[in-house]
Structure 1
Amino acid sequence: MTPHFLSIHFLLPFILLFTTITTTTLAQTAPAPAPGPPPPTNITKILEKASQFTTLLRLFSITKVGDQINTQLNNSKSGMTVFAPTDNAFSALSAGTLNSLSDQQKDELIQFHVLPTFISTTQFQTLSNPLRTQAGDSTFYNFPLNVTTSGNTVNLTTGVVNATVANTIYTDGSLAVYEVDKVLLPMNLFGPQPPAAAPAPEPVKKKKKNGDDDTPADSVNSTSSAVDLRVGLHGFIWGLIAAFIAMLCL
């Protein structure tokens, strides 16, 4: 071997060691890439991942409530809460229940399952009834939704059906999705209708006295005036006759 080749062979391990140290140092000092923004919350993807919510997803699509929830979530700081009935819950409804509803009624039904604020599991114990849903008016014959708790059990009642929160599907501090074992049927669509307003009372009729008839007062007054006129005229004529006779006797 030549002296030049021996020098390179002797220095090769040091060159490799230097290269390794340099590469490791650069890798440690290079800043890590900044994490990208989290993807927007999507209720549809959450329910698809959880499975067993095919019917609810179909109604979300028909009514556009799914898009509405996603939009509100990404433009509001209040958050939202969704009560999600399973496919088994929808199957338990009477045959033709959903098909009998108009598009507006389907929208009201699904909006009734959505609260416009984020509710954690611990907050259910301190809520005031009735809850305000996206369906609107929460008075008795419209869209009342009440919550009660017993230990860790959360029950919901609509006045038509009682349901239980069976599981937490998703929660991130902005959106909470809870599985419920029954479809929440609102009073406005499935409950008894409010009682009809009482009819206005009829005008009170005065009781007739003995001898009274139904002759209008104006007619009675007119008749009385005519009689008085005739009596007065007869008296005047007889007065003239009496005066004439008295003159003859003079």
Structure 2
Amino acid sequence: MATLHLPLAPLLLLILTAAAFLSTEIAAQPAAPAPGPARPINITAILEKGGQFVTFIRLLNTTQIGSQINIQINSSSEGMTVLAPTDNAFQNLKPGTLNKLSPDDQVKLILYHVSPKYYTLEDLLSVSNPVRTQASGRDVGGVYGLNFTGQGNQVNVSTGIVETRLSTSLRQQRPLAVYVVDMVLLPEEMFGERKISPVAPPPKKSKSPDVSDDLDTNSTKKAAPPTEKSGSCEMKSGLGFGLGLVVLTLKFLF
């Protein structure tokens, strides 16, 4: 029996030695770091990485809409979709277009490029038009909605004033989608012809005749006798008195 167990001893010793060595190596390796919290989404950083959005970034900062997007996108369950016009898109506007806008209209113009819901390109092909924007509801004079059409991989957006396509995607991951557009989206509510028919003014009321006015007029007419008739009577009275005086003098002399 002893001769059978002797060859197994070196083998068992070798196995135990290898196991001890492997356990030492595993223990010596540093533990992998735990994944840190995800960075909050920043619309400005996304646009800066994409380039060619200097004007749009400036407007996002001056109107403070960029900060609003960052706060809402990191706390909303619906997500958001941003249509970002390039610098060339702003340069193609008529000179002075932005400067002529009031601060409130500039805010509405930028909010018009933001939808309060996350949309993929496939979603936009089948979405129900018009699609609400962040500008919707700020002005009782219009809807401020966008209309999306297209087929395949091409999606077009129309405002009623301009129409362009969504050229590329800077980000298409929930909760934020950012698509590039080659034209500034001009809302019809702000830049279209307002076809409002003028309201005709109400007809003026005819002044009812005043009784006191009639009395005053009649009294004036009665109190003022004709001038010519009065003068002729005075002339006749003067001539008669003169003739009578002459006759009386002649009688006295003769």
Separation (CA, whole Å) in 1 of partners of 2:162 and 2:138: 15
**1:56 matched residue in structure 2:** 56
**2:79 matched residue in structure 1:** 79
Once the two structures are TM-superposed, the CA of residue 151 in structure 1 deviates from its matched residue by 1.7
The question of whether the paired residues in 2 share the 8 Å contact of 1:142 and 1:186 is answered with: no
The question of whether the paired residues in 2 share the 8 Å contact of 1:112 and 1:143 is answered with: no
Unaligned runs of 5+ in 1: 1-16, 206-213, 220-250
Tell me: CA distance 1:215–1:155, structure 2 relative to 1, closer, same or farther (3 Å): closer
Once the two structures are TM-superposed, the CA of residue 131 in structure 1 deviates from its matched residue by 1.1
**1:129 matched residue in structure 2:** 129
Tell me: CA distance 1:97–1:215, structure 2 relative to 1, closer, same or farther (3 Å): closer
SS of 1:61's equivalent in the other structure is helix
Q: Is the deviation greater in 193-202 or in 147-156? A: 193-202
Count residues in correspondence: 199
Point out the structure with max Rg over C-alpha. 2
Separation (CA, whole Å) in 2 of partners of 1:146 and 1:111: 12
Separation (CA, whole Å) in 1 of partners of 2:196 and 2:94: 25
Separation (CA, whole Å) in 2 of partners of 1:81 and 1:215: 65
Pair 1:163-2:158 in alignment: no
Give the TM-score, by structure 2 length.
0.68
Q: Counterparts in 2 of 1:1-250, with a 5 A limit? A: 21-27=22-28, 32-137=32-137, 142-152=142-152, 153-199=154-200, 202=203
Give the TM-score, by structure 1 length.
0.69
Separation (CA, whole Å) in 2 of partners of 1:215 and 1:35: 89
The question of whether the paired residues in 2 share the 8 Å contact of 1:81 and 1:114 is answered with: yes
The question of whether the paired residues in 1 share the 8 Å contact of 2:116 and 2:134 is answered with: yes
SS of 1:149's equivalent in the other structure is strand
Identity of aligned residues (%): 42
Q: Is the deviation greater in 83-92 or in 126-135? A: 126-135
The question of whether the paired residues in 1 share the 8 Å contact of 2:135 and 2:144 is answered with: no
Tell me: CA distance 1:162–1:141, structure 2 relative to 1, closer, same or farther (3 Å): farther
The question of whether the paired residues in 2 share the 8 Å contact of 1:141 and 1:193 is answered with: no
The question of whether the paired residues in 1 share the 8 Å contact of 2:83 and 2:180 is answered with: yes
CA deviation vs aligned residue, 1:78-125 (integer Å, no higher than 9, x gap):
100000000111110011111111211111100000000101111012
Unaligned runs of 5+ in 2: 1-17, 213-254
Once the two structures are TM-superposed, the CA of residue 135 in structure 1 deviates from its matched residue by 0.6
Once the two structures are TM-superposed, the CA of residue 33 in structure 1 deviates from its matched residue by 2.8
Separation (CA, whole Å) in 2 of partners of 1:48 and 1:81: 17
The question of whether the paired residues in 1 share the 8 Å contact of 2:60 and 2:66 is answered with: yes
**1:13 matched residue in structure 2:** none
Q: Tell me the C-alpha RMSD between the 2 structures.
A: 3.2
Separation (CA, whole Å) in 2 of partners of 1:124 and 1:215: 66
Q: 1:164 is aligned with what amino acid?
A: R
